[in-house]
Structure 1
Amino acid sequence: MTFSERPHVMLVISSLGAGGAERVITELAAFLAVKGYPVTLVTLEGDRADHYSLSPDVRRVRMDIMWESSGFFASIAGMLRRLRMIRRMVRAAGADVVISFVDMTNIRVLLALAGTRIPVIVSERTDPRRHSIGSVWTRLRRYCYPLAARVVVQTEGVAAWARTWLPARKVAIVPNAVRRPSDVADNRPAGLPHGNILMGMGRLSVEKGFDRLLQAYHDSGLHEKGWFLVILGEGPERYNLSGLAERLGIVDRFLLPGLQVNPDAWLKHADIFALSSRYEGFPNVLIEAMQCARACVAFACDSGPADLVRHGHDGWLVPADDTAAFADALRVLTDNPALRIALGEAATDISNRLTGDTVYGQWQSICDQVAAQDGKEHVRFKRAGAGE
């Protein structure tokens, strides 16, 4: 495919808030634009501020269609109106391939473009086996995903699940790329305490399991040894976590600094990074910690940590949901500074395994395959001047 023949790629997501999916779709848009693809990035929410900066070569569209609907019939009418607006917007833009991120947005896009012959690639950004979207949306996913040209997942575990009900040829595995640490990552953040640091990072929500991290920190004796526990992020569990810290008697060495503009600077000064999630789609924060040469301990939850960490070589894996074993792992690492250094140094190899060129090159290949195969009918359909 020549430079001038690149298909127009449209990327769709609910918003560009502070999340892993949002970061990936922003970087993918920039990568494709550099490669010569006409790229449009669409968000369904219109009034939410962007957390990530977008390449000037990427066209930005804010639809502002995620209004509230009250009542069953109003919800149905609102859904149908959204679908019509998405369909008209995609066709007016002249998109040749559409890439949608995150389950419910994927379903909306597939329904909106049904019958248009515009190929749609959908990307699951979490583990559907653990992340509930409700019975209605789950049934809609089962109905809609077979309409997709490709279903992209991030781990082998989710791919195996998808292949039980989708054609294997439609399922592709693309992990997330490493992100180059900030140039100012070596500067010590003003709010970071002096002393040994156990750090977690992520949305303060139930699935991230920070309650278990607090318990393991307490049970391991790190508090008595003078270690600090710092968790970066914001979310609905902040109040509950603060209350748990008080009950455990660790509040004097427990910090919740919130979202940070430069989390790399915090990671660089951690002695141990802990991933306590009950489940993951793909743990971007674990990649970032490994890239920063941190000794990492993680629950081997569904799904992602076991795809990244080679136990005892570049990190420490703990059986899922075994908080006592997690506390034991913390004790092992705190008592062995040499082991922490060795694990951290080995962990930096993640930068070679998941480079941006490698990962986003896989996305580019999928786009080209879909445009060459599934997109042929769309091109003929578009040239024929077919309407809605």
Structure 2
Amino acid sequence: MIGCAECLGRRPSTAPLRDVIKNLTVRPTSFDFVTPSQICLFIPSFGDGGVGRTFVHLANGFSAHGVATSLVVNQANIVFANRLDPSVERVVFHGRNDLALEQELQKYLSTNRPSVVMTGQGRDDVIALKVKKKLRDSGIKFFLRVGTSLGARTERKHRFWWSRWLFQYRQRRLFSQSDGIIANSHDAAADLSAFLDVPLERIRVLPNPTVAPDLPDLAHRPVDHPWLQPGGPPVVMGMGRLGRAKDFPTLLRAFARLRRERVCRLMILGEGRQAEKLKNLAVELGIQNDFDLPGFVDNPYAFLAKASLFVLSSLWEGCPNVLIEALAVGTPAVATDCPSGPREILAGGHYGRIVPPGDAEALAEAMAATLDNPPPAEFLREAVRTYTIENSSRAYLEFFGLSHA
């Protein structure tokens, strides 16, 4: 099993994949023998994050609904290959640059003529829409999927106004060429509408395909971490790439406040550039003996299910899968009211407390209140039934006009 790499912030070790990959059929670069598909998911930037996992889940869902689907990747980027259903056509492009990938995609689409092409990464969007222009009136529809609050992210990542303006200008031109735009939350859609200056009606909100059928089984598997054995103090869990967006320093400060009032522990699963910074902050706050940073784990769902509380401390998101997963395994959650997704997932606070981003005091109070009065597990699972692979893939097919298949 490959862990939630979006949550854990690194590419899993490739060693466990070798045996899997040997058993997968690598399709030829000549496309004459590839089975034509109705949906082509084009993601050569397929990596170890949430987009890669989302596209694999969607491919499996489309195929389960009887719609022929191909997943187009680069040979080197196959982190979630062992999660791909054998009925999905895995097509490997070998281009080493954007131009080569563009040429391969044009040849593939000219030969196979799918009904739909969908992309989910900025680089892939550009390549696909260049091919769309070259194919002219091909009858193929090109959809762009956005998995983050693009406007909020741009504000934080581009320091200078001219850099933000240039990026915004390019994105407006790019998205205007698509046949449809997909967002994974209503807040992300509103953000995108304002950022692109396009009518909100042109953006379709579709749920993330987060909850896989095997999630309950994975969640119930044992873990060997001593903190997660029965009878121990409550464990507060965080997950994610150890970078700025997740704002784990605020979580550590909130936990330090909580630790003054009760015996508890904090564990964050993930890897990234801020690992040493977080360890040093734990020492500074005097919580180093109750803080653990295990890094990457193969099955994060089992860890998450055994925690007493999950905390999402992010500054920005799109529609955080890990928050959905926490509720799906019955773990109570507290989240920041960041753009975007947490407020929608938690139904405005109905399924979990929401606090302002960056507010350690408010976060600590919400954590304490939730630990004192945790909601029932089945109540939490009800919150995320929309986010199953089956429901999500059906919604996508309806939007594509392929639900009759």
Q: Identify whether the pair has TM-score above 0.5, normalized to the shorter chain.
A: yes
Equivalent residue runs for 1:215-230 within 5 Å: 215-220=253-258, 222=259, 225-230=262-267
Q: CA deviation at 1:146?
A: 1.0
Q: Distance in 2 between matches of 1:188 and 1:311?
A: 33
Pick from 233, 237, 240: which aligns with 1:195?
233
Unaligned runs of 5+ residues in structure 2 are 1-35
Residue 90, structure 1, aligned to residue 112, structure 2: no
Contact 2:353 2:366 in 1 (8 A): yes
* 1:174 counterpart residue number: 206
1:46 equivalent in alignment to 2:54: no
SS in 2 for 1:255: strand
Q: Residues of 2 paired with 1:137 and 1:370: CA distance? A: 35
User: Is the Cα–Cα contact under 8 Å of residues 183 and 204 in structure 2 kept in the other structure?
Assistant: yes
Could you state the TM-score of these two structures normalised by the residue count of structure 1? 0.82
Aligned residue in 1 for 2:147: 125
CA distance in 1, matches of 2:303, 2:260: 19
**Structure 1 vs Structure 2: percent identity of aligned residues?**
28
Q: Following the alignment from structure 1 to structure 2, what is the Cα–Cα distance between the partners of residues 20 and 124?
A: 12
Contact 1:103 1:123 in 2 (8 A): no
- Cα offset for 1:340? 0.9
Question: Which residue identity lines up with residue 12 of structure 1 in the other structure?
Answer: F
* Cα distance in 1 between the residues matched to 2:397 and 2:171: 25
Q: Secondary structure, in 3 states, of the residue corresponding to 1:298?
A: strand
1:60-108 Cα distance to aligned partner (Å, 9 max, x none): 123243x4xxxxxxxxxx5444433332333234333101112332222
Deviations 1:290-339 (A, max 9, x none): 111111110011000000113553211112332221112122233x1xx1
Aligned to 1:120, what secondary structure does the other structure show? strand
For 2:107 and 2:398, the matched residues in 1 are separated by: 27
Asked if structure 1 preserves the Cα contact closer than 8 Å seen for 2:343 and 2:349, the reply is no
For the Cα contact (< 8 Å) 1:149–1:370, is it kept in 2?
no
**RMSD (Å) for aligned C-alpha atoms:** 2.5
- The 3 A distance-change label for structure 1 pair 96 and 352 is closer
Q: Which aligned runs of 4 or more in structure 1 are off by greater than 6 angstroms?
A: 369-372
The aligned counterpart of 2:385 is 352
2:297 paired with 1:260: yes
The count of corresponding residues between Structure 1 and Structure 2 is: 350
Query: Where in structure 2 are the equivalents of 1:309-320 lying within 5 Å?
Result: 309-311=346-348, 313-320=350-357
SS at match of 1:114: helix
Counterpart-to-counterpart distance in 2, 1:15 and 1:209: 26
| CA separation of 1:206 and 1:345: change in aligned 2, threshold 3 A | same
Tell me the alpha carbon deviations over residues 3-30 of structure 1, each in whole angstroms, 9 at most, x when there is no partner. xxx9621001244443222121111111
Q: State the one-letter code of the partner of 2:257.
A: D
| Equivalence for 1:101 | 120
Q: Contact 2:150 / 2:192 at 8 angstroms: preserved in 1?
A: no
User: Take 2:208 and 2:356, find their aligned partners in 1: how far apart are those partners?
Assistant: 23
Q: Secondary structure at the match of 2:334?
A: strand
What is the CA–CA distance in structure 1 between the aligned matches of 2:170 and 2:100, rounded to whole Å?
A: 17
Q: Which amino acid aligns with 2:225?
A: G
Match of 2:17 in 1: none
Q: Distance in 2 between matches of 1:29 and 1:187?
A: 26
Contact 1:107/1:141 (8 A) holds in 2:
no
